[in-house]
Structure 1
Amino acid sequence: MISRHRRATVATLLTLALSAPLFATLAASANAAQAAPQVPYSSGLELPSPAGPYPVGGRTLHLVDRNRTDPWVPAAGNRELMVTVSYPARSASGLPAAYMTDEEAQLLLEARGLGGVVPSETVAGARTHAYVGARPAPGRFPLVLLSPGFSMPRTILTSLADDLASRGYVVASVDHAYESVGTAFPGGRMLTCVACERVDTEEEQAVVVRVRAKDMSFVISELTSGRQAGALSHVIDPSRIGIGGHSIGGATAAATMAADRRVRAGVDLDGNFFLYPAAARLGGRPFMMLGAESTHSPSSPTTDWPEAWKHLKGWKRWLTVAGAEHFSFTDLPYLAGQLGLSDPAIPLSGERGWRITRDYVSAFFDLHLRDISQPLLNGPTATHPEVAFQQP
């Protein structure tokens, strides 16, 4: 039986995933835009520039797990995934990678009540900093996997993926079939969020996490030893694998580590765990939780981080960010700011949220996958005053 607290937790996180403050602001701004159509939206959206020394290459893979049937649409057959692989490149050559397709952007906007207001081509055409098919840089690099929040496409973690790639990581951002508002698959198929219609209780959320954990282990196997990865498999160091995710993707990070010993370190960006005691099965492997102070402080009634914290036995951090909201750890507030749609009720700007996410996530993986000392993770710092180190 689900406790009253757990029901509240599930309801709260579903609300965050489907109607976060950012999109409430966009909807309000939509009305203003309709009243004043003479003010056009900018067509020059651009993601933040990566901070590392490498140019970034990008490839998109369609992976099919022939040992599993899709849990949401069994009639569809085998479980399918779309994976964007960002990696260190020899040079910035080739075509710039697209952010998303027009149809994916349109479905995302329609789901938020913005269809016909913000042009889909404006969002789809946001400039990224990766180059399609660029030759990988020489060497072998750690692998980091990223899983998005429930109903969200993998593309909203593009800035983080490309920044990590520029620092010397191969990064696999994964779209899980039928779990986003719209993801393009081969053959002209647009798979929408069938799972959104079937997930309500905590037990059902746990099903999502278990399925995704299997997805991520499959992706690891394909990238390190499968045929579809091609030359990319030769630049991945299979002894240095990390994982991260936003919202339920953060729960996926912990669950994947619990089930797959190949993963050495994990990051949860503002997501509850849902699976108990997933944190207890990580052994001594490092894990970091980075979330909004409003929802993941020790006193928050909607977080399950205190219970997870008790079970984490290795290196661990519980960091909260003052002024952040659920999507502050993704591309969305950064892009909204360029559209003039930032929510004045959210103190943390999209640009600042991006920098905090970038700095702490890259520091975590640099420390635990590359053995590079990171003073940023030792305690509060004047350069990042919004970030509190929780010690419950």
Structure 2
Amino acid sequence: MKLTLLTTTVVATAAATSLAAQNRIDGQSPDAPELAAYGALPVGVRQLDFVNPDQIDILSIDPAGDPPADLPRYDRPLTVEMWYPAAEGASGETSLNAYLRDGTTEVTLEGRAVRDAAPAASGEPFPLLMLSHGYPGNRFLMSHLAENLASKGYVVASIDHTDSTYRDQSAFGSTLVNRPLDQLFVLEQMAQLNTDGGSEFAGLIDADNTGLIGYSMGGYGAIVTAGGGVTETSVGYPWGGPQGTLGIHQAGSETHEALPDPRIKTAVAIGPWGMNTGFWDAEGLAGIEIPMLFIAGSEDATSLYEEGIRAIWEGASSVDRALLTFDGGGHNTVAPIPAPAESFYFNDRLGFNVSEHYTDSVWDTVFMNNVGQHFLTAWMDLELKGETEKAAYLDLLDIGSEGLWSVNADGSLRDDHTYWKGFAEGTADGLRYEVLEATPPAVPLPASAWLLIFALGGLGVMRRAR
């Protein structure tokens, strides 16, 4: 297991290293798993600005007042950062300007994607991935995943969710209501960008073959978008969607039944929030319609593990799904970028060291992110590209440390080798990967069948009485 102890000395040393000073998002641990490596494609990055018209203005609704005759509406702005395969020879600016968790400190992140590079002239569109950050967060929080996956042949759209970013964090009800709506709106905008003859991205984006990746509240949104309707109880929470506005996502409602989009073929939820406060039950989770990968730290104190993320995984009974667990990991498992050097200070307003928003107290961030890149590559390549050979990277023993490392002197694997594919000896320790298959829904028997069963049962009783 890759461990890090965040003592004052270690933190100070880490902040002083050249790697930390550069705030690099593209780090590769020496023992990163195989599929974490960057792909062969150059990457470009570009900012897109969208407006979703005529949306419910959650912030203008008084939760304690009388229900308005008509809900206030507004045009909802959404900023998206798009990473994409770029033309060969792309060169230029490779830094990203982003705000820290404190909402005031702007920092420079360094990666490999070239700002505004010309897109690749591939002739074939690339599957679309959408990234949805936590509350609060921003579109750069998972940029290490975005850039890495784009280099392997994906267009990645990472959303700044209005009212949920470090700069504009507002009422929680906006996040609850708008996350799924934002995700589906951005999907449609990316589909239109692909068909816009005047856009240089026309023909580049396969929006009909989309994967959704959400972290924390983004994971909540991904579950709802995938078909997981929320409970009636959660719709009535006084701190939730004001005046019952969350009811559009309630399980069984017409609005929620119509929500899932067939263009989204799979979803990944990292540390998804909601089960720990009663947002789902068995009925709601059974509504999930697409295969899902869940990623969690076993010590997640925000979304909880047994009563939270693991319970969601177990409850999504209608689909095949997997759960990747980092034993000892917390809520920051896999999703956040490595803590920028400027984040290592105590913020009086927040009441904690800003770096804690990005780091884990047990796992090394770069290695943890590499594991995430490895599994997301295998999962998306299998689900969206149909690369069946990637299934071998997901056909694993449940507990990484229980695999047998058995290799010949020439490096070839012996027949009894059972260690996780793509991992070096000892590097799967502390990891678990568990799979559950869909449970077929119970088929109700017709009345005639029940009459026959009762009749046969009666005959059995008569025969036993003789």
TM bin (shorter chain):
0.7 to 0.9
* CA pair 345-80 structure 1, distance change in 2 beyond 3 A: closer
Offset of residue 208 of structure 1: 2.3
For residue 90 of structure 1, what is the aligned residue in structure 2? 87
Structure with the higher fraction of residues in helix conformation: 1
Distance 2:383 2:139 in 1: 24
Offset of residue 242 of structure 1: 0.7
Q: Conserved in 2, the CA contact under 8 Å of 1:47 and 1:331? A: no
User: Which structure 2 residue ranges, 5 or more long, are not aligned?
Assistant: 28-36, 62-71, 228-258, 346-354, 401-418, 437-466
Q: Conserved in 2, the CA contact under 8 Å of 1:273 and 1:308? A: no
State whether structure 2 residue 245 is matched by structure 1 residue 267: no
Distance 1:311 1:170 in 2: 28
SS at match of 1:326: coil
For residue 325 of structure 1, what is the aligned residue in structure 2? 330
Percentage of pairs with the same residue: 21
Q: What amino acid maps onto 1:193 in structure 2?
A: Q
Q: Conserved in 2, the CA contact under 8 Å of 1:59 and 1:84? A: yes
Q: Conserved in 1, the CA contact under 8 Å of 2:329 and 2:360? A: no
Distance 1:41 1:51 in 2: 18
My pick for the range that moved more, 382-391 or 312-321, is 382-391
Q: Conserved in 2, the CA contact under 8 Å of 1:87 and 1:170? A: yes
**1:1-392 aligned within 5 A:** 43-48=21-26, 51-72=38-59, 77-101=74-98, 104-105=99-100, 108=101, 110=102, 120=105, 124-137=107-120, 138=122, 139-182=124-167, 192-195=168-171, 199=172, 204=173, 208-226=175-193, 230-258=199-227, 259=259, 260-274=261-275, 275-276=279-280, 277-283=283-289, 285-295=290-300, 300=305, 302-333=307-338, 335=340, 346-373=361-388, 374=390, 375-380=392-397, 381=400, 382=419, 383=423, 384-390=428-434
Offset of residue 125 of structure 1: 1.7
Distance 1:344 1:143 in 2: 28
Distance 2:85 2:150 in 1: 5
Q: What amino acid maps onto 1:100 in structure 2?
A: N
SS at match of 2:262: coil
Q: Deviations over 1:228-277 (max 9, x none)?
A: 99332421113211101111111111212222222100000111345435
Offset of residue 69 of structure 1: 4.2
Distance 1:229 1:281 in 2: 39
TM-score relative to the length of structure 2: 0.62
SS at match of 1:126: strand
* CA pair 63-348 structure 1, distance change in 2 beyond 3 A: same
State the Cα RMSD in Å. Answer: 3.8
SS at match of 2:200: helix
Q: Conserved in 2, the CA contact under 8 Å of 1:85 and 1:173? A: yes
Q: What amino acid maps onto 1:80 in structure 2?
A: P
Offset of residue 301 of structure 1: 5.1
My pick for the range that moved more, 78-87 or 92-101, is 92-101
Largest Rg, 1 or 2? 2
My pick for the range that moved more, 76-85 or 353-362, is 76-85
My pick for the range that moved more, 250-259 or 139-148, is 250-259
Q: Conserved in 2, the CA contact under 8 Å of 1:333 and 1:349? A: no
Distance 1:308 1:318 in 2: 7
Distance 1:370 1:38 in 2: 41
Q: Conserved in 2, the CA contact under 8 Å of 1:223 and 1:232? A: no
* CA pair 31-164 structure 1, distance change in 2 beyond 3 A: closer
Q: What amino acid maps onto 1:378 in structure 2?
A: D
Q: What amino acid maps onto 2:308 in structure 1?
A: T
My pick for the range that moved more, 301-310 or 370-379, is 301-310
* CA pair 282-232 structure 1, distance change in 2 beyond 3 A: farther
Distance 2:342 2:328 in 1: 15
My pick for the range that moved more, 165-174 or 357-366, is 357-366
TM-score relative to the length of structure 1: 0.73
